[in-house]
Amino acid sequence: MGLRTKRRPTFRRLLKTSGVKLENKLKNRQLKQQNVAKKQRKEQKKLRQAVKDAVIRTPRPLETYRRRPEEGEEEFLETLPTDMMEDGDLQQMTAMARQASFITRDLSSCGPVHGGKKRTSDVVRSYEKVPRKMARTEEKEVIHLLPIKDRTGVIPQSVEREGEPWSLAGLSAAEREQLRAQKINQMKLRIASLGSAIISDPVHNIKRLKELRGMLMESDPCVAVTIRKLVMVSLMEIFKDVAPTYRIRPLTPAEKAVKVKKETQQLREFEEGLVSQYKFYLEDLEQTIKDWKQKKKKRSQAVGFQSYRSLAEVSARCLCELLLALPHFNFHNNIIVALVPLMNDPVKKVSGMCCDAFKKLFHQDKLGEASLATVRVISGLVKSLNYNVRPELLRTLLSLRIKEVEMKKDIEDTAPKKKFMNNKEKKKQLSRMQRKWKKAEEKLDKELLEAEASESKEKKIKLHTETLNIVFLIYFRILKKAQKSVLLPAVLEGLANFSHLINLEFFDDLLNVLQSLIQSGDLTNRETLHCIQAVFTILSGQGDVLNIDPLNFYSQLYRMLPRLHAGAPNDDIIIVLRCLDAMLTRRRKQVTLQRAMAFVKRLSTLSLHVLPNASVGILAANRAASFPKCDFLLDNEVQGSGFYLPELEEPEHCNAQNTALWELHTLQRHYHPVVRQFAVHLSRGAPSEGSAALGVKLSRRSPVELFGDYSVKDMNFNPPVAPPATKKKVQESNAPSHVLSPIS
């Protein structure tokens, strides 16, 4: 048996214990500082006492200890002979007297002679132990990294935080800009080196993500904004490139306890490190946006408020990119929760960017999980703000890819699910060889179902059904509580878009609400058109079993046609074309001849005043809604009694059979070639063959598609206009013969 080596701690274990170690380290440092301060106070106290004692015991000259002579003694001293000592002897004795301890000793002291020397040496020694007062140097701030471990043990890792920015005092503007550009270039090279190292070998270099993420804390006010933006975008691209195509789940305790291969352990550490750094990065982006939202409540010293706005915009853009690029990865719902409130932001750049991101998410979401999560958050936001949100937020719901939902009749009529045969059924119905083949076939089917990446259709329909229920809940709440808000047009547009998917049990209530809105007279033309579209979309779908004649809605649309805008913003025409398709084409059997001829006549009159693409769409709608007996309108003879009343707002009683479509004759001289072609085609009874028949390209296109094909929104004329002839050729063709002949 080989020696068992100590198991290397996992990345997660180090990550979990690093916080405790740092906390203990901080406590120990504080206790150590307190002990040092206490010890210094004691030493200083001793030093002060020692200095005081040293001052008292300082050796003094002999003259200071000379006793004052008594009377008569002074005269005796003066009579003493001084010529017995030489000058050198006198100086030597004076020096010895100053150094003699027995002479300079304080006689009041009762201690031994050498005791003072011992105390003095102790004082000097204690004085030497006291730290000198030197120039204070500021401690460098250290960023503690995760420790590493080798054969010798655990090695702590740390990186010094960058020092204070250079002093710009005394520099010109050009020199400051040059220094700033130099530092930005240095940081760019560092970001590029770290990013290339991570992308080239993400498994072994995943720890460098933390170093790169630490650059988000750049504190130099000269380059902080630029560096933070570069790091945000670089990390976004790195995560988009490095993140796997699956969701990383945390390991269970049982899985952690199992001993695995070295490659598997490296993969686990890589996944754990990637998820943790991705989480921290998302938190940094969200915190940047929150700091901008708090405005005066919280500002960074290195970054001003105006700069924080640009940082917040970059953070929002990074979140939008990750929302679209990594819908399968971890924390996707957290990104949705962070971005949905920004759809209602007063800054149009931020709200427009977030709305566009969610529209793209709805378009690319084939299964429906991300759409369901987004709709739930939107519903909660609308309710929490008491329906005081921007209409653009609700218009993003129009991009939902919901084509099929789970209806009640569908649930009852659904076929039973595929069921595998049990052993008894196999023995009764199959032979031994057939059972063997059946077993292998069922095993293969199960493996194929497990390996299939896409979800089943049943799950998709279930998700779409739940999503649509929440959408209708939002719409119905607004119709009930906020009918006069700015959200009503978006709600009516949404109902018109999804009304064919509403259950039958809501039809009666919804029709009554829409009719009351139209009769109130508070709606604009566009809102009224959306109401009419929603009603006829319902009736042309599942509502055909209700046997309802919506005569009021026919009259309302007939009344609105002359009031439509004939200029450039002709977006209402496309709603009219959709309404006509649901009212006349799909409900051909429920529409009377008088009503159909009245609409054909009024639409022909309208085609004279609108733009070319609208004229093409209206004429195509007349062609699709033409009835067999509508040929009366192509004849000049009067059919029946009475006169045509164009100003009457009831299509049933305007006597449209007594008029003619003279507008088609005028449209045959229209400047647009497709309008002329449709006018000729309709004036001759819409033949399918002959010179007046339409081509395949025009006959197979719907009115709505033709309206878009010939749009002049981008200032493009379709078909393109032929270039004019040159001036020389025109002059030559119009000149007389004698001018063209040469001079003789």
Give the chain's domain count.
Answer: 2
Flag whether 733 is in a domain.
Answer: no
Residue 22 C-beta-side C-alpha neighbours within 13 Å? 14
**Residue 297 has what pLDDT?**
44
Q: Which residues are CB-contacts of 372 (< 8 A; sequence separation ≥ 6)?
A: 463, 466, 467, 470
Domain end residue (candidates: 300, 315, 330): 330
Gap between the Cα atoms of 565 and 560, Å rounded: 10
Flag whether 737 is in a domain.
Answer: no
The SS3 of residue 206 is coil
**Residue 587 has what pLDDT?**
83
- Residue 102 CA from chain centroid, whole number: 92
Flag whether 521 is in a domain.
Answer: no
Specify burial of residue 300 (Cβ count, 10 A radius: 0-12, 13-18, 19+): middle
Flag whether 633 is in a domain.
Answer: yes
Flag whether 690 is in a domain.
Answer: yes
**Residue 222 has what pLDDT?**
84
Backbone angles phi, psi at 156, to 5 degrees: -70, 150
**Which mean pLDDT values do the consecutive 10-residue runs of the chain (744 residues) have?**
54 61 82 86 80 59 47 49 53 55 42 46 51 48 70 73 55 84 91 93 90 87 89 94 91 88 90 93 92 63 73 94 93 94 92 95 90 94 91 93 65 45 61 75 73 65 90 90 83 86 79 85 86 84 66 90 82 90 85 89 92 91 78 74 85 87 91 92 87 87 90 77 65 47 38
**Residue 720 has what pLDDT?**
78
**Residue 155 has what pLDDT?**
77
Closest listed residue to residue 529, CA positions, set 544, 547, 546, 517: 517
Flag whether 422 is in a domain.
Answer: no
Specify burial of residue 311 (Cβ count, 10 A radius: 0-12, 13-18, 19+): buried
The pTM of this model reads 0.65
**Residue 452 has what pLDDT?**
57
Flag whether 223 is in a domain.
Answer: yes
Domain end residue (candidates: 292, 307, 330): 330
How far is residue 739 from each of residues 505, 519, 726, 729, 735, measured CA to CA in Å? 85, 73, 19, 14, 7
* Amino acid at position 201, single letter: D
How far is residue 346 from each of residues 18, 244, 350, 484, 513, measured CA to CA in Å? 42, 36, 8, 21, 32
Flag whether 637 is in a domain.
Answer: yes
Domain end residue (candidates: 330, 358, 379): 330
Backbone angles phi, psi at 138, to 5 degrees: -70, 135
Structural domain span for residue 607 = 593-721
